[in-house]
Amino acid sequence: MSKKRLGRHVGLKSLGLAVCIGTLCFFASCGDDTASGSDSKYEMRLCDSTSVGIVDSLDGVQYICGVGGWTKILDSSSVEPAKTDSLGQSSLVSHSDTVTSTDSLNQNSAVNDSTQKSDTSEVVQTDPSNKDDKDPSKLENVTVTGFFGYGIFDSRSSVVVDVLDETFKKTGSSFPVTISAKDGAYSAANVTFLPPYARASVYGKVSDLVHGGSITMKDTLYALVNAQGKGGEANVNVLTYLKSVYMQHLLKSSESTTVGKASQKASDAVWKAFHFDKAGLGSVDSVTSFAAGEAGAALLAVTIMMQAVANDTAANLWKVATDFADGSWKDSSARAKIADWAFGEDVNDEFETVHKNVEKIGLTAVPDFEKYIRTFYLAELGIEACTAESYGAVVHAKNKFSKYYAADDSDVSVTMDRFVCDEGTGAWREATDKEKDTYGFGAGQDGETRQGLVNAGIVYTYNAASSSWRVVSSRAERDAYFVKKSAITDFVDIQKVYEGIKDDEKVIFLLRHGERDKDIVSREGPLTSKGVQESKEVGAKLKKHKEDFRLGASEFYRAQQTVISIALGRGQDTTIADTFPELNDDWYMVNRDTVNKVENASGGGWEAIGLYVYNGAYTDGAETVAYYNLKDRSAELIEDVLLAKYDTVPERFIMLSSHDKLMVPFVAYCSDLNINMNVKDGGTWINYLAGIAIIWDKSGNRRYVAFKGLKSGYFQGW
């Protein structure tokens, strides 16, 4: 062995006899510091500048540490202490093999060009031309064999065995292989390399086990060649690829590890990355195919998961391998993407499609890959296994990088999806609205109402007779819940309401138009100059949020002029996007002629509205029906007109203008009659630029707030 090779052999504790016995030890999982069944020492300490002159032995042969590396001592009695010159360079006094020294460029030059050999009788001088400088750890003219599979490579795939240097870069020496397309086996003859510095690489097309068809690989899949006696072996697959990437890092970054230890550590790290229990799975190198027992099932599971995200630039196999180079799969987002796919696939068809695709590659029996995929996604998403103990449980992902994440049962900031452990199938499935909305409710009081945990816009009521919660189907009954919950008692300044809108909320401001002239009531009637100015001043208060308001109004000019003036005050576009006949002043009127009669009978329009809203006059059950049922008509306006229009538009802020004969009944309804505008009972009519804010989020949480644009929400007189 050359001095340089011996120094590398001993210094790294990885390439010495540990590889030559090496590979045997590796496959027998005996990477400790003593060879099994033998007392022979097979590693020596590191030879560097701090240990010059130190003597150590290897398998009964003594060596001395010099500047150029370890030197064999033919006669231990002839050893003299190392001498150091003024430059700190050591010279050795011994009978030895050729000693090398290193110049300032780290280039090796021979100090002695002769080789001495000894036996029990004499020292034989050998002609320099016949010197044996071969490394006993090097494998020469051996056959490298193995199996490859990422799906299963087809006959158009290419495999090559490359010899590497000590930094795991290709030396340019490569060996073609013979491929058996049927079972993925290959072999390469006459390969010469120093273990572990050889790599089997494969590229081409593979079976797509997830989508069917085939995938053209974007990169080369490879595995380091393991020395096997007088041969080598490298099974190339997803597991060995990841393992080899990490193993290379270990051997390059640490001089205190052996090939066997690095291999075992890298193998364990691969299993750990996917949350698999290494007990019973063995080394990833030993997995030859998908049919190879539990380890084969685990390989198939990982292969499927990697193929599922093959086109994802963040989570594909090669990005994962790059991330895994130090043995830690740190990219939480990539892991979550794979887990999300796996969970969604399992919930939808329990991998039925994937199972059929796997069958097409011709396995005698498809191994139970599903359990390994479930092991991965359950651990990544923080979801428990669906067992008899969890039947009926409703869950969400606890991983913040998951698309199924929720901080708690009611959190919908990321998703409204929830999953239930189904007793019939013993598996997770998507939960129904009722299952996820009422999970954890328990028993309630008969007639009690609650909004859904997830779908907050769905209201449930408890039926004691059936001991169950049912969906409130009546629009008015459902909206009555939000009216009660809003608990309006008075008008709040519009600026305070506006600035309190949360990032995940939308709002409709529905208000009475600005000041008009008392005697101008036609559709074409404009605002007064004061009405225009006050509307602009309202707009000037609404600038905290950068988004423009979407503008809408009734068919009356003064209502349209109001929202335009508010927009001017904000300094935004004044285009009116929506014109609503529903926001005209007759929304609550069944028949205008009948309304005119009851207004005359009661003393005026304000008085008739007050009697209708606060006393139930002129509506259901009355002798003269002039108005619609207040609750039904108000809920219809909210749900069927306004929310139906604006729930899905991109704008978060909507400004709408209407009229007093709509706004008084509407404000009274939303305040549960707590705001008194009944002029026949001490109340005061609604002021200009006052109204109701309808605020909601994507889950359906809804609340109402009465607001004022001027100093008072009540009319101050003409």
| Domain locations in the chain as residue ranges | 3-130, 139-365, 382-473, 489-588+628-708
**Position 72 confidence tier, pLDDT thresholds 50, 70, 90:** low
pLDDT exceeds cutoff 70 at 170: yes
* Distance separating alpha carbons of residues 159 and 157, to the nearest angstrom: 7
pLDDT exceeds cutoff 60 at 80: no
Task: Please provide residue 199's backbone torsions phi and psi, each rounded to the nearest 5 degrees.
Answer: -140, 130
For residue 354, which of 339, 374, 370, 375 has the smallest C-alpha distance?
370
Mean pLDDT of 354-381: 93
More confident residue, 60 or 343: 343
**Position 315 confidence tier, pLDDT thresholds 50, 70, 90:** confident
Q: Mean pLDDT, the chain, as a whole number?
A: 83
For residue 514, which of 659, 306, 409, 684 has the smallest C-alpha distance?
659
More confident residue, 81 or 64: 64
Mean pLDDT of 645-668: 98
Q: Burial-class residue 402 by CB neighbours within 10 Å (0-12, 13-18, 19+).
A: buried
Predicted local distance difference test score (pLDDT) of residue 204? 81
Mean pLDDT of 374-387: 97
**326-355: buried (b, 16+ CB within 10 Å) or exposed (e) per residue?**
ebebebeebbbbbbbbbbbbbeeebbeebe
Predicted local distance difference test score (pLDDT) of residue 75? 42
Q: Which of 110-114, 367-371, 430-434 has the lowest mean pLDDT?
A: 110-114
Three-state DSSP state, 58: strand
For residue 408, which of 378, 387, 439 has the smallest C-alpha distance?
439
* Distance separating alpha carbons of residues 163 and 642, to the nearest angstrom: 72
Q: Burial-class residue 361 by CB neighbours within 10 Å (0-12, 13-18, 19+).
A: middle
More confident residue, 677 or 289: 677
Question: How would you classify the pairing of strands 449-451 and 459-463?
Answer: antiparallel
Using the 8-state DSSP alphabet, how is residue 639 labeled? I
- Structure token digits, residue 128: 């320099």
pLDDT exceeds cutoff 60 at 184: yes
Mean pLDDT of 112-140: 43
**Position 229 confidence tier, pLDDT thresholds 50, 70, 90:** confident
Mean pLDDT of 606-625: 96
Q: Which residue has the tokens 């089997």?
A: 200
pLDDT exceeds cutoff 90 at 610: yes
Q: Which residues are paired to 714 by β-bridges?
A: 686
**Position 1 confidence tier, pLDDT thresholds 50, 70, 90:** very low
* Distance separating alpha carbons of residues 8 and 274, to the nearest angstrom: 34
Confirm if 409 and 435 have CB atoms less than 8 A apart.
no
Predicted local distance difference test score (pLDDT) of residue 295? 95
Q: Which of 45-59, 233-247, 363-377, 460-474 has the lowest mean pLDDT?
A: 45-59
- Structure token digits, residue 89: 């360079």
Cα angle at 457 between 431 and 491, to 5 degrees? 160
Mean pLDDT of 705-709: 98
Amino acid identity at 706: A
**Position 35 confidence tier, pLDDT thresholds 50, 70, 90:** very low
Predicted local distance difference test score (pLDDT) of residue 400? 97
- Of these ranges, 31-40, 69-78, 658-667, the one predicted with the greatest mean pLDDT is 658-667
Predicted local distance difference test score (pLDDT) of residue 361? 84
**30-43: buried (b, 16+ CB within 10 Å) or exposed (e) per residue?**
bbeeebeeeeeebb
Q: Which of 61-65, 182-186, 474-478 has the lowest mean pLDDT?
A: 61-65
pLDDT exceeds cutoff 70 at 16: no
Mean pLDDT of 229-258: 91
For residue 62, which of 50, 48, 74 has the smallest C-alpha distance?
74
Question: How would you classify the pairing of strands 653-658 and 505-512?
Answer: parallel
Tens of pLDDT, residue by residue over 692-702, are 999 999 999 99
Predicted local distance difference test score (pLDDT) of residue 243? 97
* Distance separating alpha carbons of residues 79 and 53, to the nearest angstrom: 10
Confirm if 191 and 175 have CB atoms less than 8 A apart.
yes
HSE, side-chain direction, 13 A CA sphere, residue 353: 14
pLDDT exceeds cutoff 60 at 313: yes
For residue 298, which of 320, 318, 270 has the smallest C-alpha distance?
270
Predicted local distance difference test score (pLDDT) of residue 454? 96
Q: Which residue has the tokens 């929830």?
A: 418
Predicted local distance difference test score (pLDDT) of residue 64? 61
Mean pLDDT of 93-114: 33
Q: Which residues are paired to 419 by β-bridges?
A: 395, 430
pLDDT exceeds cutoff 70 at 12: no
Using the 8-state DSSP alphabet, how is residue 225 labeled? P
**Position 520 confidence tier, pLDDT thresholds 50, 70, 90:** confident
Predicted local distance difference test score (pLDDT) of residue 57? 60
Tens of pLDDT, residue by residue over 535-593, are 999 999 999 999 999 999 999 999 999 999 999 999 999 999 999 999 999 999 999 99
For residue 66, which of 35, 36, 32, 102 has the smallest C-alpha distance?
102
Predicted local distance difference test score (pLDDT) of residue 648? 95
Q: Which of 68-72, 318-322, 604-608, 687-691 has the lowest mean pLDDT?
A: 68-72
* The listed CATH number (3.40.50.1240, 3.40.50.150, 1.10.3430.10, 3.10.20.30) that belongs to domain 489-588+628-708: 3.40.50.1240
pLDDT exceeds cutoff 60 at 376: yes
Beta strands per DSSP E along 99-149: 100-102, 108-110, 115-118, 123-126, 139-149
